[in-house]
């Protein structure tokens, strides 16, 4: 009769099996995107969605990805949600998003003076969705400044009101000079609506037979979630404690009924404050 397996031996065996499973998942994803051209942002918050596909993905800023989609230089991109809403020419992959419920940490308005005194807000030129979000959040408070593009990421020369996204926002909040107060836009949205906010999703060119691509993007996300602890442990941005907090509490990757309610509310407020035509998203599984 076999002796019961010691707890330490069981733990080692399970860890070995998990590593082997992860290697197999990663191997299954290799060379899987061709012939499709896929783009994503290089920021920390998008890492789990391209897990195993890193060598096959074109990395660029949200605004650059939108430009590439518009000229059909990409077949799919993890793109700012307003690119989908303002153009009406892409499908949105259901079930996957970059979203938050409350404080997001990586999307903020840095302000040296009170919000109510804002005359000009300088927005990160890489941003699309967050620029519209800060416009809405301020307008709902009765604040209607002019919006200009931020010309430099030099924190020492940051204007009185600067909207930043992604790793640049984290650099300022965690490591930069703190002459400015930080207004977290995820927290502000939740305070206004009580709903999640969807920053980005997989936009897919319409008219393509892209079922294999959709399957691989879902598999990559599943692999990212399965190996999230490895991402937290092995990435080098900021501190281990911050990465664990960021991925555990501030960012999530599910696009479900609550996120769609948040998206519907965002569409309503975009129509109210942007002055642009806003299309309903078309989800594909």
**55-112 pLDDT per residue, tens:** 999 999 989 999 999 999 999 999 999 999 999 999 999 999 999 999 999 999 999 9
Q: Which domain holds residue 29?
A: 7-100+196-284
At 27 the pLDDT is: 56
Q: What is the pLDDT of residues 137-159, one digit of tens each?
A: 999 999 999 999 999 999 999 99
Residues 92, 226 within the same domain: yes
Q: What is the mean pLDDT of residues 102-126?
A: 97
Q: Of residues 13 and 120, which shows the higher confidence score?
A: 120
pLDDT at 281 over 90: yes
Alpha-carbon distance of 49 to 36, in angstroms, equals 16
If we measure between CA atoms, which residue out of 129, 120, 102 comes closest to residue 43? Answer: 129
Q: For the beta carbon of residue 219, count every other beta carbon within 10 angstroms.
A: 17
Residues 64 and 182 reside in one and the same domain:
no
Asked whether the beta carbons of 202 and 76 are under 8 A apart, the reply is yes
Which phi and psi (to 5°) does residue 75 adopt? Answer: -95, -20
Mean pLDDT of 251-276: 97
Confidence of residue 1 (pLDDT cuts 50, 70, 90): very low
* Residue bearing tokens 């990663």: 26
- Helix (H) / strand (E) element for 203: namely strand 197-205
Same domain, 17 and 93: yes
pLDDT of residue 12: 59
Is the same domain home to 60 and 76? yes
Same domain flag for 44 and 185: no
Are 246 and 57 contacting, i.e. CB atoms less than 8 angstroms apart? no
Q: Would you call the peptide bond into 182 cis, given omega within 30 degrees of 0 as the criterion?
A: no
DSSP 156-211: GG--SEEEEEHHHHHHHHHHS--SSEEEEHHHHHHHHHSS-EEEEEEEEETTS--H
Residue 124 has pLDDT above 70, yes or no: yes
**Residues 170 and 215 placed together within one structural domain of the fold:** no
**Contact predicate 215/111, CB 8 Å:** no
Whether 159 and 185 map to the same domain: the answer is yes
Q: Which of 163, 193, 223 is the last residue of a domain?
A: 193
Query: Residue 31: which pLDDT band, with cuts at 50, 70 and 90?
Result: low
CATH number for the domain including 184? 3.40.190.10
Pairing of strands 38-40, 76-80: parallel
- Whether 219 and 91 map to the same domain: the answer is yes
> Rounded CA gap, 142 and 139, in Å?
5
Band of residue 207 on the pLDDT scale cut at 50, 70, 90: confident
pLDDT of residue 176: 75
Contact 96, 255 (CB under 8 A): yes
Q: Bridge partners of 122?
A: 148, 162
Q: What is the mean pLDDT of the chain?
A: 91
The total of structural domains in the chain comes to 2
Q: Find the mean pLDDT for residues 24-34.
A: 65
Is residue 244 over pLDDT 50?
Answer: yes
Residues 134 and 249 in one domain: no
Name which of 107-111, 204-208, 257-261 the model is least confident about: 204-208
The whole-angstrom separation of Cα 243 and Cα 89 is: 35
**279 occurs within a structural domain:** yes
Instruction: Give the 3-state secondary structure of residue 85.
Output: helix
pLDDT at site 29: 57
E runs forming strands in 94-152 = 95-100, 107-111, 120-123, 146-149
CB burial string 176-202: b at 16+ within 10 A, e below: beeebebbbbbbbbbeebebbbbbbbb
Residue 239's beta-bridge partner residues? none
Are residue 221 and residue 169 in the same domain, yes or no? no
The three-class DSSP label of residue 18 is helix
CA 71 and chain centroid, separation = 22
- pLDDT of the residue at 125: 94
The per-residue pLDDT for range 169-184, each reduced to its tens digit, is 999 999 876 789 999 9
Q: Which residues contact 149 (CB under 8 A, 6 or more apart)?
A: 122, 123, 125
For residues 158 and 180, the answer to whether their CB atoms sit within 8 Å is: yes
**pLDDT over 70 at 21, yes or no:** no
- The domain boundary, picked from 174, 193, 212, lies at 193
Same domain, 122 and 249: no
Tell me, yes or no, whether 114 and 172 share the same domain: yes
Residue 67: strand, helix, or coil: helix
Identify whether 205 is part of a domain.
Answer: yes
């Amino acid at each position: 009769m076999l002796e019961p397996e010691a707890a330490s031996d069981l733990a080692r065996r399970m860890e070995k099996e998990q590593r082997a499973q992860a290697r197999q998942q990663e191997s299954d994803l290799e060379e899987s995107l061709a012939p499709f051209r896929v783009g994503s942002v290089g920021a920390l918050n998008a890492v789990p969605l391209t897990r195993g596909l890193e060598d096959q993905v074109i990395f660029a800023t949200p605004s650059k990805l939108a430009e590439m989609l518009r000229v059909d230089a990409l077949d799919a991109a993890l793109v700012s949600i307003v690119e989908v809403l303002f153009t009406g020419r892409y499908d949105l992959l259901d079930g996957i998003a970059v979203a938050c419920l409350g404080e997001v940490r990586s999307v903020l308005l840095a302000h040296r003076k009170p919000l109510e005194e804002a005359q000009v807000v300088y927005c990160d030129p890489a941003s699309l969705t967050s620029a519209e979000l800060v416009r809405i959040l301020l307008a709902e408070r009765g604040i209607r400044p002019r919006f200009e593009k931020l010309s430099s990421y030099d924190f020492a020369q940051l204007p009185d009101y600067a909207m930043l996204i992604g790793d640049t926002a984290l650099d300022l909040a965690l490591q930069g000079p703190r002459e400015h107060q930080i207004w977290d836009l995820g927290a502000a949205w939740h305070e206004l609506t009580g709903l999640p906010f969807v920053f980005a999703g997989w936009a897919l060119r319409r008219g393509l037979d892209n079922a294999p691509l959709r399957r691989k993007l879902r598999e990559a996300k599943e692999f990212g979630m399965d190996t999230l602890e490895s991402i937290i442990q092995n990435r080098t941005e900021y501190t281990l404690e911050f990465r664990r907090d960021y991925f555990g509490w501030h960012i999530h990757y599910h696009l479900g009924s609550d996120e769609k309610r948040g998206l519907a509310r965002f569409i309503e407020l975009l129509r109210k404050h942007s002055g642009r035509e806003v299309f309903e998203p078309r989800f594909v599984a």
